Structure 1
Amino acid sequence: MEKYSSLDINHSSPEKQTDWWKAIVHSINDGVLVIDLEGIVQLVNPEYLRITGATPSIIGKPLKESRPGAQLTEILVDRKTRVGVYRKTGNREYIVDMAPIILDDKVIGAVSVCKSLDEVHKLTQELKLKGEKLEQLQKKMSSLYQANYTFKQIIGKNMGLKDAVNVAEKVADTDLPILITGESGTGKELFAQAMHNDSKRKNNPFVPVNCAAIPAALLESELFGYGEGAFTNAKKGGKIGLFEIANNGTIFLDEIGDMSFELQAKLLRVLQEKKIRRVGETRERDINVRIIAATHRDLQQLVKKNHFREDLFYRLNVISLHIPPLRDRKDDIPELVDAFLQSSIINLSLDLESINYTISRHTLRFLQTYEWPGNVRELRNMIDYATCMMEGTEIKIEHLPETITKNRIDISEFNETTSSYNSLQEAVQDAEKRFILETLKKFGNDLEEKKRAANALGISLATLYNKINRYNLDF
């Protein structure tokens, strides 16, 4: 078989070049018919004959004679392209696209490209099936990235918490960036979800990202995606990033203080330009995402130490929310315990309707003297544990995790026979007073010793001095 290179074709005779182009037309899977300026058929390929039922004898004859009703000759006059023209010859149905052939701004002929209606129907069905699969995938994606919490599920009447809720409700339906601060376990993501569900973006994805849980080397490709061949073992076709998944919705960047300095610069560009660029690509993609960031770290201190970009800090800190720790809102513990207990009972499939599950008042008093370093998350986990351990329908101190009870100075003071107090508040204050006093006796009375005592108590030195003055402690 004779082989041709591009150089051979470019320098070959006109006859060989004509053969080359005829071979190309004959290899096309769609039907092709070409006429000259006089409307004479110059070329047809086998697929055209198969689809239309025409015979090779039409070559060299006027198209109008062999194909009555053909519109291709009209294009020689009006120079207008026609797309998707329905044609039927006998029992054969097909769709035709037609266009003029123009050389040096002059029409020298016209070309018709056709596909049988059966193939069109088949392609339509395939497109429909792919469209349905895409819709199913989009629904699955939406269910995976869905915010579940609302402001109604934020429990507590503490003023610090209520102030944070009030600000969150006011800014929920804006597109302003928000920075949520607070210790681990205070409920920062709960606030983020509530704001998303109270905004115009609520029907679009809510995508949470823990920046501290993803290795720094992978975080960029997770956030922005990557193009095909961007690095070794990259997926064929590349991968969509979390920002693109969150398009028209909200992305929640938790532990933003752990993001690398280099990646912070790219995040700043997203905030400023509303565009992302996949790793390994040069094309930028428009993005419409509301960013809510959160951290338990002091970003201002990180800025001073050059560990966090100052420009990014101010860009994120347009609206600032601080969630108070549980130890500063112990008055909310009874309401939180009740809500978590009901939820735990439901999860354990216990009979909530006919049986009243409770927590003893002595156990509740004990919980209100604990400093909760893990905050609301720790309280929730503790209730789940105690619900599994309880015998009967009441949670008692012995049902609590040992990690909470083992370091208490005198747990007997919370036993079930204690009843010398007139109110819960009085009992809590008395227990707190004695606990602080025992801790101070253990560590000592000078400044450094008081600092260590405050650290052991899980409170600041200023708070310790306030409590010493409040209870008039002397030792």
Structure 2
Amino acid sequence: MLSTEKVEWWKAIVSSINDGILVIDHEGIVRLINPEYTRITGVREEEIIGKPLHQLRPGAKLPNTLKDGKCRVGVYRKEGNREYVVDMAPIILEGEIIGAVSVCKSLTEVHKLTHELKKKKQKIEQLQRAIDSLYQAKYTFDQIIGKEGGLKQTIQIAERAAETDLPVLIMGESGTGKELFAQAIHNRSNRRKRPFIPVNCAAIPPALLESELFGYEEGSFTHAKKGGKIGLFELANNGTIFLDEVGDMPFELQAKLLRVLQEQKIRRVGGMEEKEINIRIIAATNRDLEQLVFKKLFRQDLFYRLNVIRIEIPPLRERKEDIPKLIKTFLRSSLRNILIGEEVMKFLQLYDWPGNVRELKNAIDYAVCMAEGGEIQLCHLPKWISELEVEPKQTNRTLREVIEEAERKLIRETLNRFGNGIEEKKKAAQALGISLATLYNKIKKYHIDPNEDRF
């Protein structure tokens, strides 16, 4: 037999349990209840202890558990105006049933817990829907204007890239549509039903970029959220993460990105464990990464990891044949039924559009707003465009010929200034604002001999 001290110790444990407890011995006599049982059922100790359970509570199922040794779960009980749910189990010692125990919970509490669980489930579903809608790529290759024009070759490369999981590096000036290409690649890939997470590396302060990308554990730094925070790499799991302006990523963070590419694992800030992820990385930049590598501002090993499939989007000034289609698309998407005159269209094709497609769209939106009738005139264009002195009729050459001649002259003069060696060409490309690969292509295109005017 247990000593009196041990019995009291076990009674104290049972009394501290927040569920109602009732214990019967092998004869069905009630030996123990706790205060929570009294609160739920209204039965006090002096009314039930030492008495047969089946006499005091005729509907009780616990004696059946004593006889057949079977557990019972979620048995509904109602005594007067009190409702509760009971779980029952036999007490077995050395292979023999020596008693049985019931654990009961107020139905009010059950309903409350069920309601809370339902609310939390609904909240999780709402958050999941919000995440799914927020991180969906909407553009496809069919929506890119220039497929049959100046972007034909670029789109062909991008479509082939979409068939793989290889890293993609998209190069192009600001406003050329780098994210549009990234979304189109994602939507053509086998990850199209999974998240597409865009990250502008230049827009997030360097001190916060690491925790945004990789997440953090609770207490990892001052003001860290309770429970920590999931990072964008985790959000992109099984999908695509688009690292825009990757050339602006802090040098010390580039090593951590390199590890993600190599190992497909991440570790939260302040965390000890690594988590495996399955993501496809598409990076983009308007900067010359080769020049940044040369200046030791960008890791060479990371550049090689990202530069597996390279897509260079030409600026709008190099594919002006696409301008009419772009303008017509912008006009169709406006709320007004408005046209653009042939003279204005030709005028817009003479402008170099340093802001590329984004600047063109802004100019058309402005003109649509300013136009009073049903047609856009020159006076409706933004001042910085409408006041340009462009007179194409003064020359017998086409606009393309004029542009190509000016470009050839500038490249030749720049090469003469810097020199013809590899390092000198890198400096010349940087001065021209183009990549070294683009410079080589133009030297070949224009048959430029950088030494022809040197002496």
Same fold, TM-score > 0.5, yes or no:
yes
The 3-state SS of whatever aligns with 2:365 is helix
From the superposition, tell whether residues 83 and 199 of structure 1 become closer, same or farther in structure 2 (CA, over 3 Å). Answer: farther
Contact in 2 for aligned 1:157/1:332 (Cα 8 Å): no
Q: Which runs of 5+ in 2 are unaligned?
A: 420-424, 449-455
Partner of 1:390: 371
Q: Which runs of 5+ in 1 are unaligned?
A: 1-13, 470-475
Partner of 2:312: 322
Distance in 1 (alpha carbons) for counterparts of 2:156 and 2:172: 16
Partner of 2:391: 413
- 1:97 pairs with 83, 87, 108, which one? 87
- 1:216 pairs with 177, 197, 206, which one? 206
Contact in 2 for aligned 1:224/1:243 (Cα 8 Å): yes
From the superposition, tell whether residues 230 and 339 of structure 1 become closer, same or farther in structure 2 (CA, over 3 Å). Answer: same
Distance in 1 (alpha carbons) for counterparts of 2:149 and 2:176: 15
The reply to whether residue 403 of structure 1 matches residue 384 of structure 2 is: yes
**Which amino acid is the alignment partner of residue 416 of structure 2?**
L
The 3-state SS of whatever aligns with 1:293 is strand
Partner of 1:253: 243
The reply to whether residue 227 of structure 1 matches residue 217 of structure 2 is: yes
- 1:371 pairs with 349, 352, 355, which one? 352
The reply to whether residue 45 of structure 1 matches residue 34 of structure 2 is: yes
From the superposition, tell whether residues 464 and 132 of structure 1 become closer, same or farther in structure 2 (CA, over 3 Å). Answer: same
Contact in 1 for aligned 2:415/2:428 (Cα 8 Å): no
Q: Scaled by the length of structure 1, what TM-score is found?
A: 0.75
Q: Scaled by the length of structure 2, what TM-score is found?
A: 0.78
- 2:123 pairs with 126, 133, 150, which one? 133
From the superposition, tell whether residues 308 and 95 of structure 1 become closer, same or farther in structure 2 (CA, over 3 Å). Answer: farther
The 3-state SS of whatever aligns with 1:28 is coil
- 2:228 pairs with 229, 238, 262, which one? 238
**Which amino acid is the alignment partner of residue 42 of structure 1?**
R
Contact in 1 for aligned 2:76/2:84 (Cα 8 Å): yes
Partner of 2:23: 34
How far residue 214 of structure 1 moved from its aligned partner, in angstroms, is 0.7
The reply to whether residue 197 of structure 1 matches residue 197 of structure 2 is: no
The 3-state SS of whatever aligns with 1:368 is helix
Distance in 2 (alpha carbons) for counterparts of 1:272 and 1:107: 60
Partner of 2:452: none
Distance in 2 (alpha carbons) for counterparts of 1:105 and 1:301: 79
Distance in 2 (alpha carbons) for counterparts of 1:458 and 1:299: 12
What is the root-mean-square deviation in Å for CA atoms of aligned residues? 4.2
The reply to whether residue 121 of structure 1 matches residue 111 of structure 2 is: yes
Distance in 2 (alpha carbons) for counterparts of 1:91 and 1:444: 97
Partner of 2:422: none
How far residue 321 of structure 1 moved from its aligned partner, in angstroms, is 2.2
**Which amino acid is the alignment partner of residue 207 of structure 1?**
I
How far residue 464 of structure 1 moved from its aligned partner, in angstroms, is 8.8
How far residue 72 of structure 1 moved from its aligned partner, in angstroms, is 5.3
Q: 1:249-271, CA deviations, whole angstroms, 9 ceiling, x for partnerless residues?
A: 32211111222233223223333
Distance in 1 (alpha carbons) for counterparts of 2:82 and 2:191: 50
Partner of 1:265: 255
Distance in 2 (alpha carbons) for counterparts of 1:269 and 1:80: 55
Partner of 1:447: 416
The reply to whether residue 143 of structure 1 matches residue 133 of structure 2 is: yes
From the superposition, tell whether residues 244 and 434 of structure 1 become closer, same or farther in structure 2 (CA, over 3 Å). Answer: closer
Partner of 2:272: 282
From the superposition, tell whether residues 126 and 322 of structure 1 become closer, same or farther in structure 2 (CA, over 3 Å). Answer: same
Distance in 1 (alpha carbons) for counterparts of 2:176 and 2:91: 71
How far residue 42 of structure 1 moved from its aligned partner, in angstroms, is 3.2
How far residue 73 of structure 1 moved from its aligned partner, in angstroms, is 6.6
How far residue 188 of structure 1 moved from its aligned partner, in angstroms, is 0.9
